[in-house]
Structure 1
Amino acid sequence: MDSNSSRGKRTSLQPLRAAGRQRVEELLEAASDLMAERGYEATTMAEIAARAGAKIGSLYRFFPNKEAVADTLVQRHIAVLEDECAALAKRAATLPPDVLADVLIELLVTLHPRVKSLSALMEARTDKMEIRDRARGHAIAGIAAALRVCAPGLDEALARDIAAVVLNTMKILRGMLAKDAPATLGAPEELRRMNRLYLSDRLAPFRNI
Protein backbone atom coordinates (compact mmCIF):
# COMPACT_ATOMS: atom_id res chain seq x y z
CA MET A 1 0.00 0.00 0.00
CA ASP A 2 1.26 3.52 -0.79
CA SER A 3 2.92 5.09 2.24
CA ASN A 4 1.05 8.33 1.51
CA SER A 5 -2.38 6.72 1.45
CA SER A 6 -4.54 5.78 4.37
CA ARG A 7 -3.25 3.03 6.64
CA GLY A 8 -6.36 2.82 8.72
CA LYS A 9 -7.27 5.25 11.42
CA ARG A 10 -4.13 5.12 13.54
CA THR A 11 -3.74 8.38 15.38
CA SER A 12 -0.73 10.66 15.59
CA LEU A 13 1.63 10.23 18.54
CA GLN A 14 1.63 13.08 21.05
CA PRO A 15 5.21 13.47 22.31
CA LEU A 16 5.74 14.07 26.01
CA ARG A 17 9.32 15.32 25.93
CA ALA A 18 10.38 18.77 24.76
CA ALA A 19 12.70 17.30 22.13
CA GLY A 20 9.84 15.27 20.69
CA ARG A 21 7.52 18.27 20.62
CA GLN A 22 10.19 20.32 18.86
CA ARG A 23 10.66 17.58 16.27
CA VAL A 24 6.90 17.46 15.61
CA GLU A 25 6.84 21.24 15.11
CA GLU A 26 9.69 20.97 12.60
CA LEU A 27 7.94 18.18 10.73
CA LEU A 28 4.64 20.05 10.59
CA GLU A 29 6.34 23.24 9.43
CA ALA A 30 8.08 21.32 6.67
CA ALA A 31 4.81 19.64 5.66
CA SER A 32 2.95 22.95 5.62
CA ASP A 33 5.64 24.57 3.46
CA LEU A 34 5.67 21.69 0.98
CA MET A 35 1.89 21.46 0.70
CA ALA A 36 1.67 25.22 0.17
CA GLU A 37 4.31 24.99 -2.56
CA ARG A 38 3.29 21.78 -4.31
CA GLY A 39 -0.19 20.84 -3.16
CA TYR A 40 -1.33 17.98 -0.94
CA GLU A 41 -1.23 15.26 -3.56
CA ALA A 42 2.31 15.99 -4.79
CA THR A 43 3.81 16.11 -1.30
CA THR A 44 5.31 12.85 -0.05
CA MET A 45 6.27 11.64 3.39
CA ALA A 46 9.90 11.26 2.25
CA GLU A 47 9.98 14.91 1.15
CA ILE A 48 8.50 16.08 4.43
CA ALA A 49 11.19 14.25 6.39
CA ALA A 50 13.94 15.56 4.11
CA ARG A 51 12.71 19.16 4.33
CA ALA A 52 12.67 18.89 8.13
CA GLY A 53 16.13 17.35 8.18
CA ALA A 54 14.74 14.23 9.85
CA LYS A 55 14.91 10.53 9.18
CA ILE A 56 11.80 9.03 7.60
CA GLY A 57 11.41 6.76 10.62
CA SER A 58 11.14 9.80 12.85
CA LEU A 59 8.26 11.12 10.76
CA TYR A 60 6.42 7.79 10.82
CA ARG A 61 6.98 7.56 14.57
CA PHE A 62 4.76 10.59 15.09
CA PHE A 63 2.48 10.38 12.03
CA PRO A 64 1.41 7.00 10.57
CA ASN A 65 0.66 8.48 7.12
CA LYS A 66 0.30 11.71 5.19
CA GLU A 67 -3.38 11.91 6.06
CA ALA A 68 -2.46 12.15 9.75
CA VAL A 69 -0.02 14.97 9.01
CA ALA A 70 -2.67 16.87 7.06
CA ASP A 71 -5.30 16.23 9.72
CA THR A 72 -3.06 17.77 12.38
CA LEU A 73 -2.38 20.78 10.15
CA VAL A 74 -6.10 21.27 9.50
CA GLN A 75 -6.86 21.15 13.22
CA ARG A 76 -4.27 23.86 13.83
CA HIS A 77 -5.45 25.98 10.92
CA ILE A 78 -9.07 25.68 12.04
CA ALA A 79 -8.15 26.85 15.55
CA VAL A 80 -6.48 29.95 14.09
CA LEU A 81 -9.45 30.65 11.81
CA GLU A 82 -11.97 30.22 14.61
CA ASP A 83 -10.09 32.68 16.82
CA GLU A 84 -9.79 35.26 14.05
CA CYS A 85 -13.39 34.87 12.90
CA ALA A 86 -14.69 35.11 16.47
CA ALA A 87 -12.79 38.36 16.93
CA LEU A 88 -14.10 39.62 13.58
CA ALA A 89 -17.69 38.71 14.48
CA LYS A 90 -17.46 40.96 17.54
CA ARG A 91 -16.54 43.88 15.28
CA ALA A 92 -18.84 43.09 12.36
CA ALA A 93 -21.91 44.78 13.84
CA THR A 94 -20.13 48.15 13.70
CA LEU A 95 -18.70 47.71 10.20
CA PRO A 96 -20.52 48.77 7.02
CA PRO A 97 -20.51 46.09 4.31
CA ASP A 98 -17.80 47.72 2.19
CA VAL A 99 -15.43 47.95 5.16
CA LEU A 100 -16.24 44.39 6.18
CA ALA A 101 -15.44 43.35 2.61
CA ASP A 102 -11.94 44.82 2.92
CA VAL A 103 -11.40 43.18 6.30
CA LEU A 104 -12.55 39.77 5.05
CA ILE A 105 -10.63 39.79 1.80
CA GLU A 106 -7.41 40.58 3.66
CA LEU A 107 -8.01 37.94 6.33
CA LEU A 108 -6.65 34.91 4.51
CA VAL A 109 -3.88 37.00 2.95
CA THR A 110 -2.61 38.28 6.29
CA LEU A 111 -3.13 34.92 7.99
CA HIS A 112 -1.25 33.04 5.29
CA PRO A 113 2.06 32.75 7.18
CA ARG A 114 0.20 31.03 10.03
CA VAL A 115 -2.03 28.83 7.85
CA LYS A 116 0.11 28.56 4.74
CA SER A 117 -1.10 25.10 3.71
CA LEU A 118 -4.79 25.83 4.29
CA SER A 119 -5.57 26.62 0.65
CA ALA A 120 -3.77 23.49 -0.52
CA LEU A 121 -5.70 21.35 1.94
CA MET A 122 -9.02 22.94 0.97
CA GLU A 123 -8.24 22.08 -2.65
CA ALA A 124 -6.98 18.54 -1.98
CA ARG A 125 -8.37 16.07 -4.50
CA THR A 126 -8.85 12.91 -2.54
CA ASP A 127 -11.75 10.72 -1.52
CA LYS A 128 -9.78 9.07 1.26
CA MET A 129 -10.19 11.78 3.88
CA GLU A 130 -12.58 14.41 5.17
CA ILE A 131 -9.84 17.00 5.60
CA ARG A 132 -10.78 19.08 2.55
CA ASP A 133 -14.45 19.34 3.50
CA ARG A 134 -13.68 20.14 7.13
CA ALA A 135 -11.22 22.87 6.18
CA ARG A 136 -13.66 24.43 3.72
CA GLY A 137 -16.60 24.05 6.10
CA HIS A 138 -14.93 25.83 9.00
CA ALA A 139 -13.66 28.66 6.80
CA ILE A 140 -17.11 29.22 5.30
CA ALA A 141 -18.83 28.99 8.69
CA GLY A 142 -16.52 31.59 10.22
CA ILE A 143 -17.05 34.07 7.39
CA ALA A 144 -20.80 33.43 7.35
CA ALA A 145 -21.02 34.19 11.09
CA ALA A 146 -19.40 37.58 10.55
CA LEU A 147 -21.74 38.32 7.64
CA ARG A 148 -24.81 37.56 9.77
CA VAL A 149 -23.59 39.87 12.53
CA CYS A 150 -23.17 42.66 9.97
CA ALA A 151 -26.54 41.86 8.36
CA PRO A 152 -28.81 40.31 11.02
CA GLY A 153 -31.62 39.59 8.57
CA LEU A 154 -29.43 37.33 6.46
CA ASP A 155 -30.49 33.68 6.68
CA GLU A 156 -27.88 31.03 7.32
CA ALA A 157 -28.04 29.34 3.91
CA LEU A 158 -27.59 32.57 1.99
CA ALA A 159 -24.83 33.66 4.39
CA ARG A 160 -22.92 30.47 3.62
CA ASP A 161 -23.39 30.97 -0.13
CA ILE A 162 -22.02 34.50 0.09
CA ALA A 163 -19.21 33.32 2.37
CA ALA A 164 -18.16 30.73 -0.22
CA VAL A 165 -17.91 33.47 -2.86
CA VAL A 166 -15.89 35.67 -0.50
CA LEU A 167 -13.58 32.78 0.40
CA ASN A 168 -12.81 32.13 -3.26
CA THR A 169 -12.20 35.86 -3.81
CA MET A 170 -9.77 35.83 -0.89
CA LYS A 171 -7.91 32.89 -2.42
CA ILE A 172 -7.71 34.60 -5.81
CA LEU A 173 -6.34 37.77 -4.24
CA ARG A 174 -3.68 35.81 -2.36
CA GLY A 175 -2.76 34.10 -5.63
CA MET A 176 -2.45 37.46 -7.37
CA LEU A 177 -0.26 38.90 -4.64
CA ALA A 178 1.91 35.78 -4.64
CA LYS A 179 2.05 35.92 -8.45
CA ASP A 180 0.49 32.46 -8.62
CA ALA A 181 -2.53 33.79 -10.55
CA PRO A 182 -2.67 35.98 -13.68
CA ALA A 183 -2.63 39.63 -12.64
CA THR A 184 -1.61 43.13 -13.62
CA LEU A 185 -0.36 45.84 -11.28
CA GLY A 186 -3.83 47.19 -10.60
CA ALA A 187 -5.74 43.90 -10.63
CA PRO A 188 -5.63 43.24 -6.84
CA GLU A 189 -7.27 46.59 -6.13
CA GLU A 190 -9.91 45.93 -8.77
CA LEU A 191 -10.67 42.62 -7.06
CA ARG A 192 -11.02 44.40 -3.71
CA ARG A 193 -13.40 46.91 -5.33
CA MET A 194 -15.45 44.08 -6.82
CA ASN A 195 -15.74 42.45 -3.40
CA ARG A 196 -16.84 45.73 -1.77
CA LEU A 197 -19.57 46.23 -4.36
CA TYR A 198 -20.68 42.61 -4.08
CA LEU A 199 -21.01 42.60 -0.30
CA SER A 200 -22.63 46.03 -0.21
CA ASP A 201 -25.24 44.85 -2.68
CA ARG A 202 -25.89 41.51 -0.97
CA LEU A 203 -25.87 42.65 2.68
CA ALA A 204 -27.57 46.04 2.50
CA PRO A 205 -31.15 44.66 2.26
CA PHE A 206 -30.63 42.62 5.45
CA ARG A 207 -28.91 45.25 7.61
CA ASN A 208 -31.96 46.65 9.37
CA ILE A 209 -34.36 43.72 9.35
Structure 2
Amino acid sequence: MDSSTSSEKRAPLQPRRAVGRQRVAELLAAASDLIAERGYDATTMAEIAARAGAKIGSLYRFFPNKEAIAETLLQQHMAILQEEYEAIGCRASGLSPDELADGLIDLMARLYPRVQSLPALMGAHTDRTELRARLRGQALLEIATALRACAPRLDQKTADDIAAVVLNNMKVMVGMVHGDAPTAPGAPDELRRMNRLYLSSRLGPFRSLGRIDGE
Protein backbone atom coordinates (compact mmCIF):
# COMPACT_ATOMS: atom_id res chain seq x y z
CA MET A 1 0.00 0.00 0.00
CA ASP A 2 3.05 2.28 -0.16
CA SER A 3 2.74 2.69 -3.91
CA SER A 4 1.37 5.92 -5.33
CA THR A 5 -1.79 5.98 -7.40
CA SER A 6 -3.71 8.94 -8.71
CA SER A 7 -5.97 8.83 -5.65
CA GLU A 8 -2.91 8.84 -3.36
CA LYS A 9 -1.51 12.09 -4.74
CA ARG A 10 -3.74 14.23 -2.56
CA ALA A 11 -2.13 16.52 -0.02
CA PRO A 12 -1.87 15.40 3.63
CA LEU A 13 -5.02 16.11 5.60
CA GLN A 14 -4.75 19.11 7.95
CA PRO A 15 -6.98 18.31 10.95
CA ARG A 16 -8.84 21.19 12.56
CA ARG A 17 -9.64 19.53 15.88
CA ALA A 18 -7.08 19.19 18.65
CA VAL A 19 -7.53 15.41 18.80
CA GLY A 20 -6.74 15.14 15.10
CA ARG A 21 -3.66 17.33 15.40
CA GLN A 22 -2.47 15.20 18.31
CA ARG A 23 -2.95 12.04 16.27
CA VAL A 24 -0.96 13.50 13.37
CA ALA A 25 1.83 14.51 15.75
CA GLU A 26 1.96 10.94 17.12
CA LEU A 27 2.05 9.45 13.62
CA LEU A 28 4.85 11.79 12.55
CA ALA A 29 6.85 11.08 15.71
CA ALA A 30 6.52 7.35 15.08
CA ALA A 31 7.56 7.81 11.45
CA SER A 32 10.57 9.90 12.46
CA ASP A 33 11.70 7.28 14.99
CA LEU A 34 11.38 4.41 12.51
CA ILE A 35 13.03 6.23 9.62
CA ALA A 36 15.93 7.19 11.90
CA GLU A 37 16.26 3.58 13.07
CA ARG A 38 15.70 1.66 9.84
CA GLY A 39 16.06 4.12 7.00
CA TYR A 40 13.40 5.60 4.75
CA ASP A 41 13.22 2.78 2.21
CA ALA A 42 12.92 0.02 4.83
CA THR A 43 10.15 1.74 6.79
CA THR A 44 6.57 0.82 5.88
CA MET A 45 3.25 2.50 6.46
CA ALA A 46 2.08 -0.49 8.49
CA GLU A 47 5.08 -0.18 10.83
CA ILE A 48 4.45 3.53 11.31
CA ALA A 49 0.84 2.91 12.27
CA ALA A 50 1.82 0.11 14.66
CA ARG A 51 4.53 2.21 16.33
CA ALA A 52 2.00 5.03 16.86
CA GLY A 53 -0.60 2.62 18.21
CA ALA A 54 -2.97 3.58 15.39
CA LYS A 55 -4.98 1.68 12.84
CA ILE A 56 -3.56 1.67 9.33
CA GLY A 57 -6.72 3.35 8.07
CA SER A 58 -6.11 6.24 10.43
CA LEU A 59 -2.64 6.73 8.98
CA TYR A 60 -3.91 6.71 5.40
CA ARG A 61 -6.68 9.11 6.37
CA PHE A 62 -4.08 11.76 7.15
CA PHE A 63 -1.28 10.76 4.76
CA PRO A 64 -1.90 9.18 1.33
CA ASN A 65 1.53 7.52 1.20
CA LYS A 66 4.96 7.39 2.77
CA GLU A 67 6.25 10.13 0.49
CA ALA A 68 3.70 12.54 1.97
CA ILE A 69 4.95 11.67 5.46
CA ALA A 70 8.54 12.26 4.38
CA GLU A 71 7.70 15.64 2.86
CA THR A 72 5.85 16.70 6.00
CA LEU A 73 8.74 15.62 8.23
CA LEU A 74 11.24 17.46 6.06
CA GLN A 75 9.17 20.63 6.22
CA GLN A 76 8.92 20.31 10.01
CA HIS A 77 12.65 19.72 10.36
CA MET A 78 13.41 22.71 8.16
CA ALA A 79 11.17 24.94 10.26
CA ILE A 80 12.85 23.81 13.50
CA LEU A 81 16.33 24.39 12.12
CA GLN A 82 15.36 27.73 10.59
CA GLU A 83 14.02 28.96 13.93
CA GLU A 84 17.24 27.97 15.70
CA TYR A 85 19.50 29.49 13.06
CA GLU A 86 17.57 32.75 13.18
CA ALA A 87 17.77 32.81 16.97
CA ILE A 88 21.53 32.41 17.01
CA GLY A 89 21.82 34.94 14.18
CA CYS A 90 19.95 37.50 16.28
CA ARG A 91 22.41 37.00 19.16
CA ALA A 92 25.56 36.78 17.04
CA SER A 93 26.42 40.48 17.13
CA GLY A 94 26.79 40.27 20.91
CA LEU A 95 28.81 37.03 20.93
CA SER A 96 32.54 36.50 20.85
CA PRO A 97 33.88 34.13 18.15
CA ASP A 98 34.33 31.46 20.84
CA GLU A 99 30.71 31.84 21.99
CA LEU A 100 29.43 31.73 18.43
CA ALA A 101 31.58 28.68 17.72
CA ASP A 102 30.08 26.84 20.69
CA GLY A 103 26.54 27.84 19.76
CA LEU A 104 26.93 26.60 16.20
CA ILE A 105 28.90 23.40 16.80
CA ASP A 106 26.29 22.05 19.21
CA LEU A 107 23.19 23.33 17.43
CA MET A 108 22.42 20.29 15.28
CA ALA A 109 23.49 17.82 17.98
CA ARG A 110 21.17 19.51 20.48
CA LEU A 111 18.28 19.48 18.04
CA TYR A 112 18.90 15.92 16.88
CA PRO A 113 16.12 14.31 18.97
CA ARG A 114 13.62 16.62 17.25
CA VAL A 115 15.00 16.11 13.72
CA GLN A 116 16.49 12.64 14.04
CA SER A 117 15.09 11.35 10.75
CA LEU A 118 16.61 14.21 8.77
CA PRO A 119 19.83 12.41 7.70
CA ALA A 120 17.88 9.38 6.47
CA LEU A 121 15.37 11.56 4.66
CA MET A 122 18.11 13.64 3.06
CA GLY A 123 19.88 10.50 1.87
CA ALA A 124 16.79 8.65 0.67
CA HIS A 125 16.68 7.70 -3.00
CA THR A 126 13.59 9.73 -3.70
CA ASP A 127 12.93 12.83 -5.75
CA ARG A 128 13.70 15.45 -3.10
CA THR A 129 16.84 16.90 -4.64
CA GLU A 130 15.48 20.45 -4.72
CA LEU A 131 14.32 20.33 -1.11
CA ARG A 132 17.63 18.87 0.08
CA ALA A 133 19.55 21.56 -1.79
CA ARG A 134 17.31 24.24 -0.30
CA LEU A 135 17.89 22.94 3.24
CA ARG A 136 21.67 22.92 2.80
CA GLY A 137 21.60 26.32 1.14
CA GLN A 138 19.51 27.83 3.91
CA ALA A 139 21.83 26.43 6.59
CA LEU A 140 24.87 27.91 4.84
CA LEU A 141 23.13 31.26 4.42
CA GLU A 142 22.10 31.47 8.08
CA ILE A 143 25.55 30.46 9.34
CA ALA A 144 27.24 33.01 7.06
CA THR A 145 24.81 35.68 8.28
CA ALA A 146 25.67 34.89 11.90
CA LEU A 147 29.38 35.00 11.09
CA ARG A 148 29.07 38.44 9.52
CA ALA A 149 27.01 39.70 12.46
CA CYS A 150 29.80 38.59 14.78
CA ALA A 151 32.52 39.98 12.49
CA PRO A 152 30.98 42.95 10.62
CA ARG A 153 34.00 43.50 8.35
CA LEU A 154 33.94 39.93 7.06
CA ASP A 155 33.25 39.82 3.32
CA GLN A 156 30.49 37.60 1.95
CA LYS A 157 32.71 35.18 0.02
CA THR A 158 34.90 34.49 3.03
CA ALA A 159 31.82 34.11 5.21
CA ASP A 160 30.40 31.58 2.75
CA ASP A 161 33.64 29.58 2.76
CA ILE A 162 33.84 29.57 6.56
CA ALA A 163 30.17 28.62 6.82
CA ALA A 164 30.77 25.51 4.70
CA VAL A 165 33.55 24.39 7.06
CA VAL A 166 31.44 25.08 10.15
CA LEU A 167 28.45 23.20 8.72
CA ASN A 168 30.61 20.14 8.13
CA ASN A 169 31.95 20.40 11.67
CA MET A 170 28.36 20.53 12.94
CA LYS A 171 27.54 17.34 11.05
CA VAL A 172 30.59 15.60 12.48
CA MET A 173 29.51 16.63 15.98
CA VAL A 174 26.09 15.05 15.43
CA GLY A 175 27.76 11.79 14.42
CA MET A 176 30.06 11.85 17.43
CA VAL A 177 27.40 12.68 20.00
CA HIS A 178 24.79 10.27 18.67
CA GLY A 179 27.07 7.37 17.78
CA ASP A 180 26.92 7.52 13.99
CA ALA A 181 30.63 8.28 13.50
CA PRO A 182 33.86 6.83 14.90
CA THR A 183 34.71 8.69 18.07
CA ALA A 184 36.26 8.59 21.54
CA PRO A 185 34.92 9.91 24.86
CA GLY A 186 36.84 13.16 24.66
CA ALA A 187 36.51 13.71 20.92
CA PRO A 188 33.43 16.01 21.02
CA ASP A 189 35.27 18.39 23.37
CA GLU A 190 38.26 18.34 21.05
CA LEU A 191 36.01 19.22 18.11
CA ARG A 192 34.56 22.12 20.11
CA ARG A 193 38.08 23.38 20.84
CA MET A 194 39.03 23.05 17.19
CA ASN A 195 35.95 24.97 16.11
CA ARG A 196 36.66 27.74 18.63
CA LEU A 197 40.26 28.09 17.45
CA TYR A 198 39.15 28.10 13.84
CA LEU A 199 36.49 30.77 14.22
CA SER A 200 38.62 32.91 16.52
CA SER A 201 41.47 32.94 14.01
CA ARG A 202 39.20 33.57 11.03
CA LEU A 203 36.79 36.09 12.53
CA GLY A 204 39.23 37.98 14.76
CA PRO A 205 40.74 40.13 12.00
CA PHE A 206 37.27 41.15 10.80
CA ARG A 207 35.83 42.23 14.14
CA SER A 208 34.82 45.86 14.64
CA LEU A 209 37.74 48.10 15.52
CA GLY A 210 37.96 49.02 19.17
CA ARG A 211 35.74 46.14 20.33
CA ILE A 212 37.07 43.97 23.14
CA ASP A 213 35.49 40.51 23.57
CA GLY A 214 33.88 39.99 26.94
CA GLU A 215 33.01 43.64 27.51
TM-score tier, shorter chain, comes to 0.7 to 0.9
- For residues 121 and 6 of structure 1, the distance between their equivalents in structure 2, rounded to whole angstroms, comes to 22
CA drift at 1:123:
3.3
CA drift at 1:180:
2.1
Structure 1: which amino acid aligns with 2:119?
S
- For residues 158 and 32 of structure 2, the distance between their equivalents in structure 1, rounded to whole angstroms, comes to 32
- For residues 136 and 76 of structure 1, the distance between their equivalents in structure 2, rounded to whole angstroms, comes to 15
Name the structure 1 match of 2:137: 137
Structure 2: which amino acid aligns with 1:48?
I
Name which of structure 1's ranges 98-107 and 168-177 shifts more when overlaid on structure 2.
Answer: 168-177
Structure 2: which amino acid aligns with 1:95?
L
Deviation digits for residues 129-183 of structure 1, max 9, x if unmatched? 5332233233323222211211223344443333232222122212212222111
Compared CA separation, residues 155 and 64, structure 1 to 2 (3 A): farther
Compared CA separation, residues 76 and 116, structure 1 to 2 (3 A): same
Give the structure-1-normalised TM-score: 0.85
User: Which structure 1 segments of 5+ residues have no match?
Assistant: none
- For residues 145 and 37 of structure 1, the distance between their equivalents in structure 2, rounded to whole angstroms, comes to 34
Name the structure 1 match of 2:30: 30
Compared CA separation, residues 147 and 183, structure 1 to 2 (3 A): same
Name the structure 2 match of 1:173: 173
Deviation digits for residues 56-87 of structure 1, max 9, x if unmatched? 22212211222211221122222222222222
Q: How many residues align?
A: 208
Compared CA separation, residues 204 and 177, structure 1 to 2 (3 A): same
**What is the aligned-residue RMSD (CA, Å)?**
2.5
Structure 2: which amino acid aligns with 1:154?
L
**Structure label with greater radius of gyration:** 2
Compared CA separation, residues 170 and 4, structure 1 to 2 (3 A): farther
| Runs (4+) off by over 6 Å | 5-8
Compared CA separation, residues 156 and 183, structure 1 to 2 (3 A): same
2:154 counterpart SS class: coil
CA drift at 1:116:
2.2
State, as a whole percentage, how many aligned pairs show the same letter. 65
Structure-to-structure mapping, 1:1-209, within 5 angstroms: 3=2, 10-128=10-128, 130-208=130-208
Structure 2: which amino acid aligns with 1:3?
D
CA drift at 1:93:
1.0
- For residues 35 and 98 of structure 1, the distance between their equivalents in structure 2, rounded to whole angstroms, comes to 35
